[in-house]
Amino acid sequence: MSFEKLGLSKPLLKAINNQGYKTPSPIQEKAIPLILKKKDVLAAAQTGTGKTAAFTLPMLELLSQNNKKVAKLQVKALILTPTRELAAQVHTNVVTYSKYTKLTSAVVFGGVGINPQKAAIKKGVDILVATPGRMLDLVNQKALDLSCVEFFVLDEADRMLDMGFVHDIKKVLAMLPAKKQNLLFSATFSKSIKELAAKLLNNPTLVEVAKANVSNHKVKHIIHKVNKKDKKNLITHIINEQNMKQVLVFTRTKHGANKLSKLLDYDGLKSAAIHGNKSQGARTKALADFKNGDIRVLVATDIAARGIDIISLPYVINYELPNIPEDYVHRIGRTGRAGKEGHAISLVCIDEKEYLTDIEKLLKKEIEHIHIAGYEVDPSIKVEPKKQKGRGGNKGSKNPSSNSNNNSKTSKANGDKKNKRNYSTNNSFT
């Protein structure tokens, strides 16, 4: 099927053509016609399959057909995202696709001055992309009016709930008109997502182009079992040995990201760290430098698992496995995007054995283990006592809505112990 057959107008088709898109992805092919029919949609698809275009294009089409001018401080469409990076990314797509229309848009998020954002929406905009905390701040300061919203999109809804935004979402819903079109898009489905959908959506159509919580089949998964103390040398070895020019590396904590970035720089691998304690300016610059090749390695916490969109990113390395298995899917979803092949490499020490068990249960497969000479696992090393399990090193934030990167909720990291898988015949880590 072509985009022309989906019912999109010439201005949108021209913008799509400028991007080199020839045929819609499965999620776009299924979701766009439903949204154009003004149906509420609950949609799930693998990360990197074009979810943003799947809701943005039909929303732009319907808004273009409505000649009603937006009033002061009001918006016609609200797209809510969990992180600053994702908000910026979504807004970039909105601007790109609406280039040949008369529609206006703005993006608001924390970490930067609020006054320019107030000015951007003062005259009213057709589409507002926002993170929950900053959007509520604007409403509370009477700088934003949500009473005339016609479209409400909850993007990456599962991440919203994981980050503790459920109460903020409820506040937003209370501010929106009862009569509107609601779209809930997510990379994964869960019981809590379906419960939220039941409250938000009106007789929704379910669109699911792949089984929930599964990774892109074009991504090759590899694990290297290694002693914890040898990880820093192994990652440098892998990057140099495979001549990786652009690699995204994930750590569990902010401190770990900073420390690893310094070590990589010391080893001659130009890098930068990106996490919640970095200023928005520093995060934006690090991401821009990574995209244009000024730095070779971007070290990130899970804040970046959904906010980085690089079509041809070849490598993702898990320097540390996430303690929440769904985050593995989102991390490695940064590679293998838009039909490209990708590589997901994980360095796993004995302390992460249970995390690996949970991830493999989620993926329903055992990840290939490749041994690297010189990095043998010492069988005498014992598991260290578990530390605090919060994501990204965030500890006990009292107000998750004040920063769109706080990950205030934790989740069970240990799988069902009754169903644990052995990794070798003698049940040893090696």
Q: What percent of the chain has pLDDT over 70?
A: 84
User: In which band, very low, low, confident or very high, does the pLDDT at 338 lie, cut at 50, 70 and 90?
Assistant: low
Radius of gyration of the chain (CA): 22
Q: For residue range 168-213, list pLDDT tens digits in order.
A: 998 999 999 999 999 998 877 777 788 888 888 988 999 987 555 4
Distance CA 201, CA 87 (A): 22
Q: Does the pLDDT value for residue 32 go beyond 50?
A: yes
Q: Does the pLDDT value for residue 82 go beyond 60?
A: yes
User: In which band, very low, low, confident or very high, does the pLDDT at 420 lie, cut at 50, 70 and 90?
Assistant: very low
Residue 229 C-beta-side C-alpha neighbours within 13 Å? 6
Kindly report the pTM of this predicted structure: 0.67
| Residue among 94, 97, 99, 98 at smallest CA distance from 107 | 94
Please answer whether residues 72 and 64 qualify as being in contact, where contact means their C-beta atoms are separated by less than 8 angstroms: no
Q: Does the pLDDT value for residue 421 go beyond 70?
A: no
pLDDT at 215: 53
Average pLDDT along the chain? 84
pLDDT at 393: 43
Distance CA 355, CA 348 (A): 9
Q: Which domains does the chain have, with CATH numbers?
A: 3-208 (3.40.50.300), 219-419 (3.40.50.300)
Of 359 and 308, the one with more pLDDT: 359
Of 83 and 126, the one with more pLDDT: 126
Q: For residue range 253-264, list pLDDT tens digits in order.
A: 999 999 999 999
Beta strands in 173-295 (DSSP E): 181-186, 205-208, 219-225, 247-250, 271-274
Q: Does the pLDDT value for residue 222 go beyond 80?
A: yes
| Residue among 406, 369, 370, 367 at smallest CA distance from 390 | 406
Distance CA 342, CA 21 (A): 20
Q: Does the pLDDT value for residue 413 go beyond 90?
A: no
Q: For residue range 266-300, list pLDDT tens digits in order.
A: 999 999 999 878 887 888 898 889 988 999 999 99
At residue 312, the 3 state secondary structure works out as coil
pLDDT at 195: 82
Q: For residue range 120-130, list pLDDT tens digits in order.
A: 999 899 999 99
Please answer whether residues 235 and 249 qualify as being in contact, where contact means their C-beta atoms are separated by less than 8 angstroms: yes
What's the start-to-end Cα distance of the chain, in Å? 49
Please answer whether residues 379 and 256 qualify as being in contact, where contact means their C-beta atoms are separated by less than 8 angstroms: no
| Torsion angles phi and psi, residue 208, rounded to 5 | -140, 110
Among 97-106, 151-160, 376-385, 402-411, where is mean pLDDT lowest?
Answer: 402-411
